[in-house]
Amino acid sequence: MSNERLFSRRSFLKASGLLALASTFPIASTSAQTGEKLKDLLSKNNRSLQLKKTKVLLDDQWDVIVVGGGPSGCAAAIASAREGAKTLLIESMGCLGGMGTSGLVPAWTPFSDGERMIYRGIAEKVFNESKKGVPFEPKEKMDWVAINPEWLKLVYDRMVAENNVKVLFFSHLASVEMKNEKEVDAIIISNKSGLTAYRAKVYVDCTGDGDLAAWAGASFTKGNSKGISMPATHCFEIVNLNVNPSNIESFNSLYGGNKKSPIWEIVESKKYSLIKDAHLCINYIGPNAVGLNAGHLFEVDSTNPQSLSNAMSRGRELANQFMAGLKEFRPDIFANSVLVNTGQLMGIRESRIIEGDYRLTLKDWIARATFPDEIGRNNYFIDIHNSEEEIDKVLKEKNFENNLGRPEPYKKGESHGIPYRCLTPKRLKNVLVAGRCISTEQIVQGSVRVQSACLVTGEAAGMAAAHAIQQHKNDVHLVNVDYLRKRLKEEGQYFK
């Protein structure tokens, strides 16, 4: 590799040691948390290990590196490469798609505002290609279209390849090397080659958890006033049901929002200890096959490896309990069915929210705000899943759709803008974020976290990364937003 050089790491301990500490001593706080505060942990919280001075290979041929290959990362990498930047996409799993593939999330949230498609550009292209994997869905359907995850993996593989994005699978961001307080110099990736440094001019953090930005020192919030984030769901797939495309409609009766759904009997029977509420969404994803986004795992912290590990095994137990419960209460459909797959990724709805130049507020969401620097629109409802304390109320009322006083969903034709400033972490010069960790108030993250919006923020971030290199010595805060919006519009994006 001609561009690989030996990279001398001045301070690998700084980032990697902090990673270990940060996971051992998870910080659950709504106050902004900086790299400096993490550094304090080293001195306060007992044991640490000094890594020996070491050198790793350096690959410094990249203009833009995108970390995380979910919807936001794929869109970012495609957009960056399309603008002419030499782009590397780094993903820790063996496929692209994030929650929609490795996480087995079985459906797209609505792509329309009830009147027209509002998530366009790369989002629309991915959505249209994805639909080819679920031919039983009506061609013109825009809302709640099912996902065939194996097909979606191919869609992303092909789209990134067509746009000359280089992809590195099974490669995990391990730490971040800073040039100075504001600028990322290189990132350290861990994979079967051991540790390797990768250097780019601009980095786009699409890890969902904001790993890169947080480790580079961006401030962020995590969770509610008690530090607790929305519950997680471990999605799974069941096959060999007694159902076919002509009676897909019968699935509607299984949805937790229906008072006759078997989920109520399953919960009330108290035989299935891990099934604590009526969350049961089910999508027909192929002949006699369904994907389920069902049940909740409470107080999972995806930035704490032990918490995440415990959740994975609990999640598999939970899926098995669902299988047993559905067989017991709906044998007409499930008697001979088999649980064939649980997500390779835990279904994490929320973790770090990175602080950007602007934080999208609930007030903005309620006002259906329009911004001079908006890069897309969103209309998804504020979909906050109830905490363990809140589920009792919903169960008592047997009303799964009780939104506990949260804002009402938008009406037809309504949407709000997403400002570019939500993608630019405060104080970091050459880092952008996209996807579910962009800068919003926690309650608004419950709306912009869905895949359609993540594709939109990904496309804008990837394009802006390329523009920052061309225009302003890699400074993402100085990007010409009028030009960015012009280019996004030329590529088909929708905003005001």
Which residues are at the interface with ligand FAD (CB under 6 A)? 67-73, 90-93, 98-100, 102, 105, 107-109, 172-173, 206-209, 211, 233, 235, 293, 345, 347-349, 435-436, 449-452, 454
- CA 463, CA 485: separation in Å to the nearest integer? 10
Least separation in angstroms between CB 172 and ligand FAD: 4
Least separation in angstroms between CB 479 and ligand FAD: 21
Between residues 390 and 475, which has the closer beta carbon with respect to ligand FAD? Answer: 390
Between residues 219 and 451, which has the closer beta carbon with respect to ligand FAD? Answer: 451
Token code pair at residue 33: 């948390």
- CA 275, CA 214: separation in Å to the nearest integer? 34
Least separation in angstroms between CB 489 and ligand FAD: 23
Pairing of strands 220-222, 352-354: antiparallel
Least separation in angstroms between CB 349 and ligand FAD: 5
- CA 355, CA 395: separation in Å to the nearest integer? 35
Least separation in angstroms between CB 403 and ligand FAD: 17
Between residues 33 and 457, which has the closer beta carbon with respect to ligand FAD? Answer: 457
Between residues 105 and 422, which has the closer beta carbon with respect to ligand FAD? Answer: 105
CB 112 within 8 Å of CB 143: yes
* Phi, psi for 152 (deg, rounded to 5): -65, -35
Between residues 258 and 480, which has the closer beta carbon with respect to ligand FAD? Answer: 258
Alpha-carbon torsion angle 447, 94, 229, 188, nearest 10: -110
> Which strands sit side by side in the sheet containing 236-239, from one edge to the other?
280-286, 289-294, 236-239, 338-342
CB 429 within 8 Å of CB 474: yes
Between residues 26 and 471, which has the closer beta carbon with respect to ligand FAD? Answer: 26
Between residues 318 and 450, which has the closer beta carbon with respect to ligand FAD? Answer: 450
- What DSSP letter does each residue of 52-92 carry, written as one string? PP-EEEEE---SEEEE--SHHHHHHHHHHHHTT--EEEE-S
Least separation in angstroms between CB 6 and ligand FAD: 23
Least separation in angstroms between CB 202 and ligand FAD: 17
